[in-house]
Structure 1
C-alpha cells in the first residue's frame, strides 16, 4: 500500500494538498483493507474507509470507489465533480480533470468503460457505457464518448467523433 501511495504522490508532483492525491490515498486504503482475511478484523477498517471515502467525496468532490481497477501513475489533476463507476478500469498513467464522469450509460446495464494506458481525459468529459478506450488517447473537454476509441486517437464533441492523431480532415 505505501509503495503505491508514494507513486501516487509522485504522480501528483509531490503535492500533499492535491485533492486528487487525497482520493488516491483513500482508494489505496480501501483496496488494502480487502487483504485482511478475517472479516471481524476487517470490519473496523471498512468503517474507517467508508467514512474517509465520504469525506473526500464531500470535501474534494471526487468519487473514486476502491472497486475500480487503476493502473500506476493515475492522476486526478483538478478536483470537483469527478465521478468514476466501480465497474470502470484504467491502465497506467491516466489523467482525469474536473467534472469528468466515467460510468454507466444505462443503469440497467452495469458496465463501464475500460480505459487503456496514457489516456488524458479533459475537463467536463463524460465517458459512458461498455466501451473501450485505447492507449495514448486524448478526450477533449466536455466530450461525450459513447463509442470505442482506437489507440492513438482524439475524441471531441457531443457525441464525440474520433480523429486519428495527425489527421487533418
Structure 2
C-alpha cells in the first residue's frame, strides 16, 4: 500500500498540495478495508472511511468510493466535481480532469459501470456512462458523453461521443 501511495504522490504535478493526491490517499486507505476479515475492526474502519470520504468530498469535490478499482499512478490534474461510481475500474497511468463522471446508466444494474484501460486521458467535463470499455491509450475529449465502447488508440469527442482513430 505504501508503494502505491508514493507512486500516487509522484504522479501528481502539484505534489503534496494536490487535492487529487489527498483523495487518492483516502481511497487507498479505505480500499484496504475490503481485505480485512475481522468484523469489529472492519466495522470501525467503515465508520472512519465514511467520515474521511465525506470530508474529502466536501474539501476537494472528488468522490471515490472504496469499492472502485483504481490502478497505479492515477493523476487527477484539476480537482472538483469528479464522481467515480463504486463499480468503476480505472487502469494504470490514467489522467482525469475536473468535472468527470464515471457512472451507471440506470439503477437497474448497479454493476454496469465504465471500465477504463491503461494510459487513458479523460478531458474536463467528460461523462462516461454505463457498462462501456475504454481501450488503452484512448483520449476522451472535453465534455464528451461516452455511451459506447472506445477502442484502443482512439479519440472520443462530442455529445454523444463520436469515435475517431488516432493512427
Q: Please, what TM-score do these two structures have when normalized by structure 2?
A: 0.95
- Measure how far apart 1:3 and its partner are: 1.4
For the residues of structure 2 that align with 1:102 and 1:35, how far apart are their CA atoms?
Answer: 24
Structure 1 unaligned residues grouped into runs of 5+:
none
Residues in 2 aligned to 1:140 and 1:76: alpha-carbon distance in whole angstroms:
15
Query: Is 2:81 aligned against 1:81?
Result: yes
Distance 1:126 1:26 in 2: 23
Runs of 4+ in 1 over 6 A off after TM superposition: none
Deviations 1:73-103 (A, max 9, x none): 1111111000000011011111110000001
Match of 2:154 in 1: 153
Counting only pairs closer than 5 Å after superposition, residues 1-169 of structure 1 correspond to structure 2 as 1-13=1-13, 15-110=15-110, 111-166=112-167
* Partners of 2:41 and 2:91 in 1: CA distance: 31
Structure 2 SS opposite 1:34: helix
Deviations 1:81-128 (A, max 9, x none): 000000110111111100000010122222111110000000000000
**Structure 1 residue 14 displacement after superposition:** 6.1
The answer as to whether partners of 2:89 and 2:114 remain within 8 angstroms in 1 is yes
For residue 102 of structure 1, give the secondary structure of its aligned residue in structure 2. Answer: strand
Aligned-residue CA RMSD in angstroms? 1.1
Q: Which moved more, 1:7-16 or 1:21-30?
A: 7-16
User: Aligned pairs, how many?
Assistant: 166
Q: Is the 8 A contact 2:13 2:77 kept in 1?
A: no
- Return the alpha-carbon distance in structure 1 between the equivalents of residues 157 and 132 of structure 2: 16
